[in-house]
Amino acid sequence: MFVFAGFLLTVAFQPPGFNPFQSSRTYIPHITQDDTRFRSALVLENPTDQDQTIRIRALSHQGQIVAERESTVPAGTSAKQWRHDLFEDVMVDYLILDKAEEVIAGVVYEPIAQPQNALRVAETVRTATHWRVYPSNWEDTFDGLILLNTQCLDINAAVSHHAADGSTLGQPHRVALTPGGKATLNLGELFQSQADSYVQVQADRRVLATAVKGSKDAAAPTSFLVGNLAKAMDNFPDLRAELKKARDTWFGGGRANGYRFQQSYRCFCPTDVTQFTQITVSGSLIDTLTYLDSGETVPVSAVKRYHSVEEMFALIEAELDRADGVYAEFDSETGFPTLISVDPVDCMADEEYTLVNQALNEP
């Protein structure tokens, strides 16, 4: 099962109209070909009181759809479907599942000689720009790292080996992933084993990662398999540090009597949406919203666009966890966020938005 091909540089072909990478779907990032040592199965659990039909797309490591299936799981039951029964001899590298949120999916890797050591790895949608894997001694174990591009733009990543103090051990390995592309890496073939070390992935866009660890001799009575070992690190670490500093500065400023400022919501919107608005805040909540030029009150339908300073801190924090692009500037003396710019999805046009803030004063 886990005889990894080492360093892969994947080049994906996108069939016309092919765009399976949507947030409503989940991924099984690694499924193996059956051989004399391992076999794998898709496991689906339906805890609901209605039958559920799941659409299964099987893809190659280049992102090509090689098979499509549908599977209906009766209400309150689970189903285990062996890879060969689903796809026969088709070469499959990973799966995309379209299903109801309530349906739970995973893949089972079963050693032929030691079926009691079967490993189940859950479906995932988690992506991040930074990942870490903490490896074992590679003399008798392997560490496999899987990187999958679920975005619609190319991803470039560096995979590097580090000592416990953070110093780099050897040269990093570069991985280039086109949309839908997958790289499967055997870390023991890339780096020299060292105690208390870690492997880090640093990508220029969010990438999905998973890792598996196991015995090289799968038939040994003491053999083992464990999974889900890739740890997602925080995206935008520098901006997170700036946000914390600005938030601490702001809340240390003692604005018990409230404050007022002007805000403009910038987007691909009509000018009546983007004009500056006077905002008055009391107790962290917005009291009044008035268009600066006309003096008219902002209609209720538009209120949700505007944010108090406290709400903007929470907004930035949330976008750091989900958006592809986030930029913010803060006043060094007050912590006041003067600019927030967010690009939710790199490859989608016209969904970006910006908050411009100015003229902070006491009420």
Confidence of residue 11 (pLDDT cuts 50, 70, 90): very low
> Is position 294 within any domain?
yes
Q: Are residues 263 and 184 both part of a single domain?
A: no
Q: Are residues 180 and 261 both part of a single domain?
A: no
pLDDT 10s digits, 199-220: 999 999 999 999 999 888 888 8
Please tell me the distance from the alpha carbon of residue 239 to that of residue 241, in angstroms, as a whole number: 5
| pLDDT for the residue numbered 217 | 86
Q: Are residues 196 and 247 both part of a single domain?
A: no
| pLDDT for the residue numbered 192 | 93
| Residue finishing a domain among 233, 250, 278 | 233
| pLDDT for the residue numbered 52 | 92
| pLDDT for the residue numbered 225 | 84
- State whether the Cα torsion 198-181-95-22 is positive or negative: positive
Tokens 């479906």 belong to 123
pLDDT 10s digits, 39-59: 999 999 999 999 999 999 999
pLDDT 10s digits, 159-178: 999 999 999 998 999 999 99
| Residue finishing a domain among 201, 233, 265 | 233
Give the rounded percent of residues in the chain with a pLDDT score beyond 90.
67
Q: Are residues 62 and 145 both part of a single domain?
A: yes
Tokens 């196991």 belong to 214
> Is position 19 within any domain?
no
* Tally of domains in the chain: 2
What mean pLDDT do residues 292-314 have?
Answer: 94
**Bridge partner list, 212:** 144, 227
Confidence of residue 77 (pLDDT cuts 50, 70, 90): very high
> Is position 229 within any domain?
yes
> Is position 1 within any domain?
no
For 114, other C-beta atoms within 10 Å of its C-beta total 19
Distance of CA 3 to the CA centre of its chain: 26
What mean pLDDT do residues 101-114 have?
Answer: 91
Q: What are the backbone angles phi and psi of residue 135, rounded to the nearest 5°?
A: -85, 170
Tokens 């008219």 belong to 296
Q: What is the CATH number of the domain that holds 41?
A: 2.60.290.11
> Is position 20 within any domain?
no
| Residue finishing a domain among 199, 233, 267 | 233
Is the pLDDT at 18 greater than 50? The verdict is no
Q: Are residues 186 and 102 both part of a single domain?
A: yes
Helix axes 309-322, 237-251, angle to 10 degrees: 160
For 48, other C-beta atoms within 10 Å of its C-beta total 14
Q: Are residues 208 and 278 both part of a single domain?
A: no
pLDDT 10s digits, 131-163: 999 998 888 899 999 999 999 899 999 999 999
| pLDDT for the residue numbered 24 | 62
| pLDDT for the residue numbered 273 | 77
Q: Are 129 and 203 in contact (CB under 8 A)?
A: yes
Q: Are residues 242 and 333 both part of a single domain?
A: yes
Q: Are residues 215 and 262 both part of a single domain?
A: no
Contacts of 124 (CB under 8 A, 6+ apart): 26, 27, 29, 208, 210
Q: Are residues 208 and 313 both part of a single domain?
A: no
Is the pLDDT at 3 greater than 60? The verdict is no
Confidence of residue 187 (pLDDT cuts 50, 70, 90): very high
When mean pLDDT is compared across 23-37, 232-246, 258-272, 300-314, the lowest value belongs to 23-37
When mean pLDDT is compared across 184-193, 267-276, 327-336, 339-348, the lowest value belongs to 267-276
Please tell me the distance from the alpha carbon of residue 342 to that of residue 354, in angstroms, as a whole number: 6
Give the rounded percent of residues in the chain with a pLDDT score beyond 70.
93
| pLDDT for the residue numbered 17 | 36
**Mean pLDDT estimate for the chain:** 88
> Is position 9 within any domain?
no
Q: Are residues 333 and 263 both part of a single domain?
A: yes
Q: Are residues 176 and 79 both part of a single domain?
A: yes
| pLDDT for the residue numbered 280 | 96
Q: What are the backbone angles phi and psi of residue 183, rounded to the nearest 5°?
A: -120, 135
Confidence of residue 283 (pLDDT cuts 50, 70, 90): confident
| pLDDT for the residue numbered 23 | 35
Q: Are residues 247 and 226 both part of a single domain?
A: no
> Is position 96 within any domain?
yes
> Is position 37 within any domain?
yes
User: What SS3 string covers the chain?
Assistant: CCCCCCCCCCCCCCCCCCCCCCCCCEEECCCCCCCCCEEEEEEEEECCCCCEEEEEEEECCCCCEEEEEEEEECCCEEEEEEHHHHHCCCCCCEEEEECCCCCEEEEEEEECCCHHHCEEEECECCEEEEEEECCCCCCCEEEEEEEECCCCCCEEEEEEEECCCCCECCCCEEEEECCCCEEEEEHHHHCCCCCCCEEEEEEEEEEEEEEEEEECCCCCCCCCEEECCCEECCCCHHHHHHHHHHHHHHHCCCCCCCEEEEEEEECCCCHHHHCCEEEEEECCEEEEEEECCCCCECCHHHHHHCCCHHHHHHHHHHHHHHCCEEEEEECCCCCCEEEEEEECCCCCCCCCEEEEEEEEECC
pLDDT 10s digits, 226-262: 886 899 998 888 999 999 999 999 999 887 679 999 9
Q: What CA–CA distances, in Å, run from 221 to 35, 72, 120?
A: 19, 37, 19
Range of the domain at 95: 26-233
